[in-house]
Amino acid sequence: MAREPLREKHLKGVHAYAEKRVFAGDTLHVRVSSSVPYRISIVRLGTDLDGPSEDVELFPAQEAGPSPQSICPGSYVNVDAGLEDLPLRALTLECWVRPWSLSSWQGLVSQHSFPDTSGIGLFITEDGHVALYLGQGGEFDESRMVLSPNTLEQLRWHHLVGVWDGSEASLWIDGQRAVDPLPLAGPVRPGPAPLRLGAYGDFFDGVGWTSNFLEGDLAMPVIYSRALSELEIQRRCADKGLHPPPLDGVLACWPLSEEKGSEVADISEHQRHGHIINGGTWMIGGPSSDGRDSLRFTQGYSPAKDPLRGHALRLASDDLHDCGWESSHAFALPSDLKPGIYVGRIRHGEDFQHLYDVTFVVRKARGLPKAPILVLCATNTWLAYSGTPFALNHTERDPRQLWVVTGKPEPDEGETPRYNFYRCHQAGQPTYRLGMNLPWPAAAPYNYFSDPDTCYSHLTRAERFTHLWLEQNGYDFDMVTDFDLHQDPDLLPDHPVVLINGHSEYWSIPAYQGLERYLEQGGKVIALTGNTLFWRVSFDDTLTTMECRKAEQLPTLGGMGGAIPGELYHSNDGLLGSLLRESGYPCWRLLGLESVGYSNDGRHHAFTCDEPTHPFFEGTGFSLGDAFADGAVGHEWDVRIDLPQQRTLGLLSDADFPKGIVTLAHCQAAQGNLETPGDTLWDYGGKALSDEDKAQLTEAINSQMIYWKRPAGGEVFFAGTIGAGWALSKSGADPRWGTLLRNVLRHFGV
The per-residue pLDDT of the chain, averaged, comes to 94
Give 411's pLDDT tier (boundaries 50, 70, 90): low
Tally of domains within the chain: 2
> What is the pLDDT averaged over residues 344-356?
92
pLDDT at position 580 is 96
pLDDT at position 689 is 84
| Secondary structure letter of residue 205 according to DSSP | T
pLDDT tens digits, one per residue of 312-349: 999 999 999 999 999 999 999 999 999 999 999 999 98
> What is the pLDDT averaged over residues 350-358?
91
Give residue 108's domain range.
Answer: 76-315
- Rounded Cα distance between 436 and 421, Å, is 14
- Rounded Cα distance between 634 and 510, Å, is 29
- Rounded Cα distance between 39 and 31, Å, is 13
Nearest in space to 461 (alpha carbons), one of 722, 741, 739, 742: 722
- Residue 330's CB: how many other CB atoms inside 10 A? 10
Cβ atoms of 277 and 75 within 8 Å: the answer is yes
Residue 647 pLDDT exceeds 90: no
**148 within domain boundaries:** yes
**621 within domain boundaries:** yes
Nearest in space to 114 (alpha carbons), one of 199, 183, 16: 199
Domain end position, chosen among 268, 292, 315: 315
Q: What H or E segment, with its residue span, contains residue 484?
A: helix 482-487
pLDDT tens digits, one per residue of 220-274: 999 999 999 999 999 999 999 999 999 999 999 999 999 999 999 999 999 999 9
**429 within domain boundaries:** no
pLDDT at position 670 is 82
What does each C-alpha distance from 24 to 36, 205, 341, 364, 471 come to in angstroms?
31, 47, 12, 6, 19
Phi/psi of residue 587, each to 5°? Answer: -60, -40
In one-letter notation, the amino acid at residue 476 is D
The torsion region of residue 280 among left (phi > 0), alpha (psi -120 to 50) and beta comes to left
- Rounded Cα distance between 646 and 586, Å, is 14
Tell me the HSE value of 240 on the side-chain side, using a 13 A CA sphere.
12
Cβ atoms of 226 and 249 within 8 Å: the answer is yes
Q: Among residues of the chain, what percentage have pLDDT more than 90?
A: 84
Contacts of 213 (CB under 8 A, 6+ apart): 74, 75, 76, 106, 107, 198, 199, 315, 316, 317
Phi/psi of residue 670, each to 5°? Answer: -75, 125
Domain end position, chosen among 283, 315, 347: 315
> What is the pLDDT averaged over residues 392-403?
80
Before 187, cis peptide (omega within 30)? yes
pLDDT at position 674 is 54
Cβ atoms of 161 and 148 within 8 Å: the answer is no
Q: What is the largest CA-CA distance in the chain?
A: 95
Contacts of 56 (CB under 8 A, 6+ apart): 43, 44, 46
**303 within domain boundaries:** yes
**401 within domain boundaries:** no
Phi/psi of residue 701, each to 5°? Answer: -105, 135
Cβ atoms of 640 and 593 within 8 Å: the answer is yes
CATH number at residue 490: 3.40.50
Cβ atoms of 422 and 479 within 8 Å: the answer is no
Residue 366, burial from CB neighbour count under 10 angstroms (0-12, 13-18, 19+): exposed
- Rounded Cα distance between 405 and 387, Å, is 8
Q: Coil, helix or strand for 41?
A: strand
- What is the distance, to the nearest Å, from the Cα of residue 149 to the centroid of all Cα atoms in its chain? 39
Give 673's pLDDT tier (boundaries 50, 70, 90): low
- Rounded Cα distance between 15 and 33, Å, is 5
- What is the distance, to the nearest Å, from the Cα of residue 240 to the centroid of all Cα atoms in its chain? 31
- Rounded Cα distance between 564 and 36, Å, is 44
**220 within domain boundaries:** yes
pLDDT tens digits, one per residue of 168-198: 999 999 999 999 999 999 999 999 999 999 9
**207 within domain boundaries:** yes
CATH number at residue 309: 2.60.120.200
- Rounded Cα distance between 510 and 487, Å, is 8
Pairing assessment for the beta strands 524-529 and 715-720 based on DSSP bridges: parallel
Before 389, cis peptide (omega within 30)? no
- Rounded Cα distance between 396 and 402, Å, is 13
Contacts of 446 (CB under 8 A, 6+ apart): 49, 50, 51, 357, 399, 400, 401, 461
**274 within domain boundaries:** yes
| Secondary structure letter of residue 669 according to DSSP | P
Phi/psi of residue 638, each to 5°? Answer: -135, 150
Cβ atoms of 259 and 211 within 8 Å: the answer is no
Nearest in space to 193 (alpha carbons), one of 106, 308, 89, 78: 78
In one-letter notation, the amino acid at residue 69 is Q
Q: Coil, helix or strand for 107?
A: strand
Contacts of 461 (CB under 8 A, 6+ apart): 49, 445, 446, 447, 448
Domain end position, chosen among 285, 315, 345: 315
The residues pairing with 223 across neighbouring beta strands, listed in sequence order, are 93, 252
- Rounded Cα distance between 261 and 199, Å, is 19
pLDDT at position 298 is 80
pLDDT tens digits, one per residue of 31-88: 999 999 999 999 999 999 999 999 999 999 999 999 999 999 999 999 999 999 889 9
Give 12's pLDDT tier (boundaries 50, 70, 90): very high
Residue 698 pLDDT exceeds 90: no
Alpha helices in 122-274 (DSSP H): 230-238
Q: In what order do the strands lie in the sheet with 661-668?
A: 477-481, 373-377, 497-502, 524-529, 715-720, 701-709, 661-668, 604-609, 627-634
